Amino acid sequence: MINERASGDSRYARTGKDGAFYNQDGVLLATVESFSSNVSFNNASYSVLGNAQELETANTFKVTLTMSQVVVEDDAFIQEIFKAMKEQQMPYWSLQGVLVGRNGSEQRVVYSECVPSGQVDLQNVTTGDVIKRNWNFAVNKPPALQSLLDIN
């Protein structure tokens, strides 16, 4: 076997039950079914005389955060969205994503200045399904890695 570590560390693999999503005050958003964050990099292309290869240099990046919330009650998020639409001043939130390791270590990432971006569900009702509200955010500050998972 070439990759001996993969099978040896499989007991440390994490699943969704090991994750959590908190607001800026550290309050668990227990109704969040799933969340994900992504970064996309946009490079600038250029060509140099005498070189047939097109090159790229780092230009910009964008961080997005998406969550699916099970609707249990009208919480602060939806209340703030309706207030923002009425007053025409969008809210900014700070959120925390956490993944807990088997040994109690945790990976914690703080997402600051999150603003609603794209489509946000106000109501999303389907017969026979749990009612969920999907949220999309642009993260306007680079995420901060607060702590790392380890297997020690």
Which pLDDT score, from 0 to 100, does residue 63 have? 97
What does the pLDDT look like over 80-131, one tens digit per residue?
A: 999 999 999 999 999 999 999 888 889 999 999 999 999 999 998 989 889 9
Which pLDDT score, from 0 to 100, does residue 129 have? 87
- In order, the DSSP letters of 60-123 are EEEEEEEEEEE-SS--HHHHHHHHHHHHT----EEEEEEEE-TTS-EEEEEEEEEEE-S---S-
Q: What is the mean pLDDT of residues 44-65?
A: 96
| 42 bridge partner residues | 60
DSSP state of 28: B
Q: What is the mean pLDDT of residues 54-73?
A: 93
pLDDT at 7 over 60: no
Q: What residues have CB less than 8 Å from 140, skipping those under 6 apart?
A: 92, 112, 113, 114, 115
Q: Hey, which bits of 18-54 come out as E strands?
A: 19-23, 32-46
Amino acid at 28: L
d(CA 77, CA 67): 12
Which pLDDT score, from 0 to 100, does residue 5 have? 61
Q: What residues have CB less than 8 Å from 60, skipping those under 6 apart?
A: 41, 42
What pTM does this model have?
0.84
Comparing 26 with 9, which gets the higher pLDDT? 26
Comparing 69 with 152, which gets the higher pLDDT? 69
The per-residue pLDDT of the chain, averaged, comes to 90
Q: What is the mean pLDDT of residues 27-44?
A: 92
d(CA 106, CA 151): 10
d(CA 57, CA 118): 28
pLDDT at 149 over 90: no
Average the pLDDT over each of 2-11, 57-66, 70-79, 125-134 and give the range with the smallest value: 2-11
